[in-house]
Structure 1
Amino acid sequence: MSNTNSTDQSQGSQKTQKSQESRGDDKRSKAEEPRPAPVEVLRQARAQLAELTGLAPESVTSFEQTEDGWALEMEVLELPRVPDTMSLMASYQVDLDQEGLLTGYRRVRRYERGRSDARRPGGR
């Protein structure tokens, strides 16, 4: 009976070791996979934000790679009005991981389409 127990234990430790090795292979294969191209990240970000908010991004006004992935700012039409210059627009900050999957977003600004940013004192 003790021989059976030691066989079961050795088989269990072999399974554990194989499981740990396969997890290590997963980590290596993810690290070896190329990061998505910036254009593909933009496409994914636009699609994901539209799916989550129900609003289609009209433009991307800021795009940068960060330590954790990507950071974007997108302009979205929130409320169409007539005339179009009175439509309400919004600017969204969007964060993505290294694979281009959306990890968070927030509205940072809301404005009428026809309004420009206020000039800063001494600014151009």
Structure 2
Amino acid sequence: MSISIPKLVEKARGDLASLTGLELGSTLATVKDQKGWRVKVEMVEKKSLPDSMDILATYEVLMDDEGNVLEFRRAGMRKRIDTVSPEEE
């Protein structure tokens, strides 16, 4: 039985927080492909003063239809003040 997208995202965010120990940010994307569900979440890699200089990392987690983590990786990093991430350029 498949998990709903809101439950999948909630589980992905919780699992990423547990796996990385980082503070959660925004959910950027949720996509289904042939390998499973890919959820991209932005997380605070390093707090700074002022907050605009925080280092944010984009993490991608691959999950199966039941919401089990198959793999995860850091896909990129940027300063909070930068409105476009290097992956988008």
* TM-score (normalizing by structure 1): 0.65
Give the match for residue 102 of structure 1. 69
Match of 2:8 among 31, 35, 41: 41
* Count of residue pairs the alignment pairs up: 87
Q: Is the 8 A contact 1:69 1:99 kept in 2?
A: no
Bigger share in strand = 2
Amino acid at match of 1:106: R
CA distance in 2, matches of 1:40, 1:61: 15
Give the match for residue 17 of structure 2. 50
Amino acid at match of 1:73: K
Q: Which runs of at least 4 in structure 1 moved beyond 6 Å after TM superposition?
A: none
| Largest Rg, 1 or 2 | 1
Amino acid at match of 1:52: L
Give the match for residue 74 of structure 1. 41
Give how far 1:69 is off.
Answer: 2.1
Q: Secondary structure at the match of 1:82?
A: coil
* TM-score (normalizing by structure 2): 0.88
**RCO higher in 1 or 2 (8 Å CA, sep ≥ 6)?**
2
CA RMSD of aligned residues (A): 1.6
Gaps of 5+ in 2: none
